[in-house]
Structure 1
Amino acid sequence: MKTIITIFLVAIATVAFSSKYEETMKTNIDKLYALNSSVELQALANQFERIGMAEQDKWLPSYYAAYCFVRSTFLDEMDADAKHKQLDKAQSLIDELQKKYSEESEICALQALVYQLRITDMSKGAKYSMKASSAIAEAEKLNAENPRVYYLRGSNTFHTPKFFGGGAEKAKPDLEKAAKMFEYVKQTDPLMPTWGNIHNGQLLEQCANLD
């Protein structure tokens, strides 16, 4: 009887702990998309990293910590050096994630985004565009239903010069596919990534304006 009671209490504690984790993560994820300064995102990244230290069997806390640094490059008036410093912080976390969770499509997609954001001048275009393409291909291999695969591929193609096989016309099919997937692919886990939809739509608008 004591054994049964002990098992029951452990089960209740486990459920409560899991619920607390999900609640805290959801609150922080919502905050991530609402914050509008790199300083605030740095603090939030620290919170995600603390969650990751407590939940070492989960990849999402470190993933979102990395995404905080990535998102910070969209805000403020950062010069190229400042952007690369933020991306270095994201890369450090991604490197650790890839060692433990090499089969996760979303981590590969985030890696591709980091590579794309490294292209802060023409001299970096060829190197990081190729690296992004490789990471996108890996993300697709791991999960062809990930809409960020097609958004990122479309974005990569859109920003590649026409004489290198890029441009809006070539990018449009992938961007259209991503738009449909963002709309129709069901998100069963509220903690999973959702980024990309807004920028994908903006790129499609630019494609339409060039028709």
Structure 2
Amino acid sequence: MKQILLSVVLAFTLQANAQDDAVIKDLAPVCADFDSLHTAEAWKAKTDQLAVLKEKYPESWMTVYYYAYSCIQMSYFEPSLAIKDAFVDQAEEQLAKLEEKCPLKDEVFIMKAMVANARIGADPENRWQKYGKIFEDNLKAAKAVNENDPHIYLLKGIATFYTPKMFGGGAKNAKTYFEKAQAKYDLITNTDVDKPYWWGRSTCNYFFGEIAKELGK
């Protein structure tokens, strides 16, 4: 009986590994240029590709993770509050499966923080108080799991950059977080889709340029 159980476990493990390999093979070329996408049209095409893969591999955490990420990016390009929220809704719908399946618990908290931040971005004046706490709480939770996750400091830097100086924001205060993010990115040696810590490096570099402009005024 013990041998039979071991054989069943091994069979399931091999099947899961084979599917992960297939997911990675299909996802890798789709995600490779994430950090070079800067238009709504580019993100729309990417979101459509990821939607197809999400349906093809419904049990994969990787497909829902990147689909949620792309939906959040799309929300920032939309002028309509209703459409912004529709994209964030799609991202938020992935969180339950992500929480169940994703082995990288810090990145589950990161995605929750991103959803909260996108809610703020859609309507800052009316939402910062509610979603700001959710954003901060999830970044703290992510840091408790893995303090080397660069997304913690990247997202905090972006939020600080756009926060008024009177409330502790601005370029000078944001710079510290981007420097921490950059230091964590320097520890990363791969761009594997099952280890998504690599995305955002170019965003970090972009904000260094914006900070230099602001501090140089």
The answer for the alignment partner of 1:137 in structure 2 is 140
Segments of 5+ residues of structure 1 without an aligned counterpart are 1-5
Q: CA deviation at 1:17?
A: 5.1
Distance 1:34 1:196 in 2: 10
Aligned mate of 1:176, from 175, 179, 185: 179
Q: Which structure ranks higher in relative contact order (CA pairs < 8 Å, sequence separation ≥ 6)? A: 2
The answer for the alignment partner of 1:199 in structure 2 is 203
The answer for the alignment partner of 2:3 in structure 1 is none
Q: Does the CA-based 8 Å contact 1:157-1:166 persist in structure 2?
A: yes
Q: Does the CA-based 8 Å contact 2:31-2:193 persist in structure 1?
A: no
- Share of identical aligned residues, percent? 24
Q: CA deviation at 1:84?
A: 1.0
Distance 1:87 1:181 in 2: 27
RMSD: 3.1
Q: TM-score when scaled to structure 2?
A: 0.77
The answer for the alignment partner of 1:45 in structure 2 is 50
2:77 maps to 1:64: no
Q: Does the CA-based 8 Å contact 1:161-1:167 persist in structure 2?
A: yes
Q: Does the CA-based 8 Å contact 1:38-1:73 persist in structure 2?
A: no
**What's the secondary structure of 2:189's corresponding residue?**
coil
Moved over 4 A (4+): 13-18, 31-35, 99-103
Q: CA deviation at 1:90?
A: 0.3
Write the letter of the residue equivalent to 2:165. Answer: K
Q: Alpha-carbon deviations, 1:94-124, whole Å to 9, x = none?
A: 1332245486111211221221121223222
Q: Alpha-carbon deviations, 1:176-208, whole Å to 9, x = none?
A: 111122233333744322222222222222222
Write the letter of the residue equivalent to 2:201. Answer: N
Q: Does the CA-based 8 Å contact 1:51-1:61 persist in structure 2?
A: no
Query: How many residues are paired up?
Result: 200
The answer for the alignment partner of 2:117 in structure 1 is 116
Q: TM-score when scaled to structure 1?
A: 0.79
CA pair 34-52 structure 1, distance change in 2 beyond 3 A: farther
**What's the secondary structure of 1:185's corresponding residue?**
coil
Q: CA deviation at 1:32?
A: 5.8
Distance 1:33 1:47 in 2: 21
The answer for the alignment partner of 1:21 in structure 2 is 23
The answer for the alignment partner of 1:166 in structure 2 is 169
Q: Does the CA-based 8 Å contact 2:30-2:46 persist in structure 1?
A: no
Distance 2:35 2:211 in 1: 26
**What's the secondary structure of 2:186's corresponding residue?**
helix
Q: CA deviation at 1:146?
A: 0.6
Segments of 5+ residues of structure 2 without an aligned counterpart are 1-6
Q: Does the CA-based 8 Å contact 1:105-1:140 persist in structure 2?
A: yes
2:91 maps to 1:90: yes
Write the letter of the residue equivalent to 1:109. Answer: I
Per mean C-alpha deviation after superposition, the further-off stretch among 183-192 and 141-150 is 183-192
